[in-house]
Amino acid sequence: MRSMWEAWFCHVEVNNVCPQNCAYCTRYIRHVRKDQMYNMDLETFRKSVMSLDGFPGRLGIIGGEPLIHPKFEEICVILRDEFKIPKKKIGLWISDRRRYEKRKALITEVFGMVAFNEHNREQRKVELHQPLTIAIEDAVKDEEYRQNLIDNCWVQNTWCPSINPKGGFFCEVAQAIDIILDGPGGYAIEPGWWKKTPEEFKDQVDRYCKHCGAPIPIKRELLDNDKEKFSPGLLEIFKNHGLRSLSSKLIDVFDRQLTIEEMEKSKLEWDPRHYRQDKKPDMREGYKTRPSKPQITTPLKIGEGR
């Protein structure tokens, strides 16, 4: 694994509410209980952004669907006028076309990068998602091999650490797992929390990664699938936490363990970063190997009046 400060972005998860109902969503939107849903308040948002002062990479605004946050425009104004962050340092991840078109002028003014993935009807027929709900603890018996897969997880190595209202996390999927499994929360949202090395955030790795299917070399699933594959142990955990959308009509139980031989064979064609089958083969998350040092050499400078 890499240190958090090496990531190209650090996300602020402004909400976990989304009108989409995608299978294997990295935020587990279809399973989140109503009492677990949130829209980050502006005080926490300011605190989250301030904690990234000096971060070598860029700031990402993500959800859920950020555009349905009731104070999305205020968030934009805070970034532009209060913190005066250059637009080249900020990215936005969205999927809502109607709201995007309505706020396009403001978005273009504030954000230097917009990752827009609509998940429309045509995309849903071809896009492939990693089956996150096949927990690696259930599906991979060999402990040494399992730990090696976790240590080389493509999500952690190519995606981003994240901040939600419960704290800072080394991985954006881990923060979502903490929410749905009523975890203890992340690291205190304070300056420099993101400087932790893999040895220093091992507590989060041990707590969350065992419940995740991201590192497993396994066939990916169509976004348009009605059913999600669940390993039995994780399904039981989800049920014990009263999570939503767990009826037999929506679940396909994956009740077996994978062999090392079949996973090694799967690795030959497995490319979970290339989930956008409607785009060119090189248009995939984390396509280029991240360098051993941050991509952005000029750190974020965040603070009122800057």
Query: DSSP characters for the chain?
Result: ---GGGSSEEEEE-B---S---TT-TT-GGG--GGG--B--HHHHHHHHHTTTT-SSEEEEESS-GGGSTTHHHHHHIIIIIS---GGGEEEEE--HHHHHHTHHHHHHH-SEEEE----HHHHTT-EE--TTS-HHHHB--HHHHHHHHHT-HHHHHS--EEETTEEESSHHHHHHHHHTT----B---TTGGG--TTTTHHHHHHHGGG--TTS----EETT-SSEEE-HHHHHHHHHTT-SS-STTTEEE----B-HHHHHHHHTT--TT---TTS-TT--TT-SPPPSS-S--S----STT-
Q: Residue 302: which pLDDT band, with cuts at 50, 70 and 90?
A: confident
Q: Is the dihedral of CA 90, 91, 94, 96 positive or negative?
A: positive
Cβ 291 vs Cβ 53: under 8 Å: no
* Tokens at 62, concatenated: 């993500």
CATH class of residue range 4-267: alpha beta
3-class secondary structure, 116: strand
State how far the Cα of 225 lies from the Cα of 245, in Å rounded to an integer. 14
Q: For the segment 94-136, what is each residue's pLDDT rounded down to a tens digit?
A: 999 999 999 999 999 999 999 999 988 888 888 899 999 999 9
Domain ranges of the chain: 4-267
Q: What is the pLDDT of residue 280?
A: 58
Q: What is the pLDDT of residue 273?
A: 82
Average pLDDT, the chain: 92
Examine the pLDDT at 306 and tell me if it is beyond 50. no
Examine the pLDDT at 291 and tell me if it is beyond 50. no
State how far the Cα of 137 lies from the Cα of 148, in Å rounded to an integer. 13
Q: Residue 288: which pLDDT band, with cuts at 50, 70 and 90?
A: very low
Beta-carbon count within 10 A of 184 CB: 11
The stretch 10-34 carries a mean pLDDT of 96
With a pLDDT cut of 90, the percent of the chain lying above it is: 83
Examine the pLDDT at 293 and tell me if it is beyond 80. no
Q: For the segment 139-196, what is each residue's pLDDT rounded down to a tens digit?
A: 999 999 999 999 999 999 999 999 999 999 999 999 999 999 999 999 999 999 999 9
Examine the pLDDT at 253 and tell me if it is beyond 90. yes
Cβ 216 vs Cβ 142: under 8 Å: no
Q: What is the pLDDT of residue 40?
A: 98
